Amino acid sequence: MPRKFKTSAADDGRTLAQVVADRLGIEPAEAVVLVARGSVYIGRKRVRDPEAIVPVAARLTIHQDESESTTPPLTIAYQDADIVVVDKPYGLASQPTRDRSDRSVEAWLQKGYPDGRLLHRLDRDASGLLLCTISKVARARFQQLLDENKLHRRYVAVVEGTLRGSGILDQPIGPDPADRRRQKAGYGKPARTEWKSVRCSRGRTELIIQLTTGRTHQIRVHFSTMGTPVVGDPIYGEGTSGRLALHALELVWPERRVTSPVPPEILELIV
C-alpha cells in the first residue's frame, strides 16, 4: 500500500532522496534506488531524479514493497555474554522513528536479544560503533562506566576550515525552539567535547574527538558554533549531497578497546 507524506518548511532545500530516506527511515543509498526506479511521486507526477529539490508543502506518495521493510543485517564489531558492539552504517537510525519502527539498530537488537538496550545513540547521518547491553547487570555496569567517564567514545570527523593543535568545547546544548530538527548551543544541559587536529588539507581539517557528555548532535552543534561545521552536515552546515563526515571510531573501557575502520568516503575528503 502506498505511503503518503507532506513536506514542511524543515525540508526546504533538501533533495527528494534525503526526504524519502528521512520519512522511511532507510539508508540514503536505498532511497536513491527507490526514487530512480519510479516509486516516488510529487503530487501526481512521478519523479525519478534523486537530486530533485522538494517543494515545501508538497504531497509525496511512495510505493514500497513490504519485502523492503526489514532491518538490514549489522556488522558485529565485538560481542561477549553481556554486550554487543555493532558497527552502524551511515543512514540507519539508532532507534525506531515515528514513520518506521522496523528499521533501526534497536529493532535489530531486540529481534535477537529480548533484554538488549542501546547504551548510547548515533545520529542517523553518522556511522560507527554503538554499544548495546544484553543483560540488566551489564546495563547497570556500563551505565556507571559512562557516567564516570570510564567508557571513552572517540570519533573521527572532517570539518570545514583549518583547526590546528587541540582544544575543548564546553557549551551547554538544548533543543532549538525555532526548529525541532536542531539543537542549539548556549543553554540546556552541559556538553563537553575534546578535539585534536590530525591534518589539514584543501581547506578542511581531520579531527579526533572525544566526548565526555553525549548530547543530541553534540559534535555537530559545537563545531558549527566555531564556524567549522562537519562536512556534509545538512542541518548545521551546507551539506546537500554526500554523507556526514562523522564516524564513531573507537570505544575504550578498562578491559577492552574496540575500533571501526574509517569509511573511505570520509578519508577521501581530506587527501
Cβ neighbours around 161 below 10 Å, total: 13
Cβ neighbours around 86 below 10 Å, total: 24
Q: Which residues contact 180 (CB under 8 A, 6 or more apart)?
A: 10
- Please say whether the beta carbons of 247 and 155 come within 8 A: yes
Give the active site residue among 11, 123, 125, 233.
Answer: 123
DSSP assignment of 129-140: EEEEE-SHHHHH
234, three cell numbers:
545538512
CA–CA gap between residue 50 and residue 237 (Å, rounded): 20
DSSP state of 53: B
Is 115 a catalytic site residue? no
- Please say whether the beta carbons of 83 and 77 come within 8 A: no
Coil/strand/helix, residue 43? coil
Q: Which residues contact 233 (CB under 8 A, 6 or more apart)?
A: 125, 220, 224, 239, 244
CA–CA gap between residue 235 and residue 219 (Å, rounded): 13
- Please say whether the beta carbons of 104 and 113 come within 8 A: no
Active site residues: 123
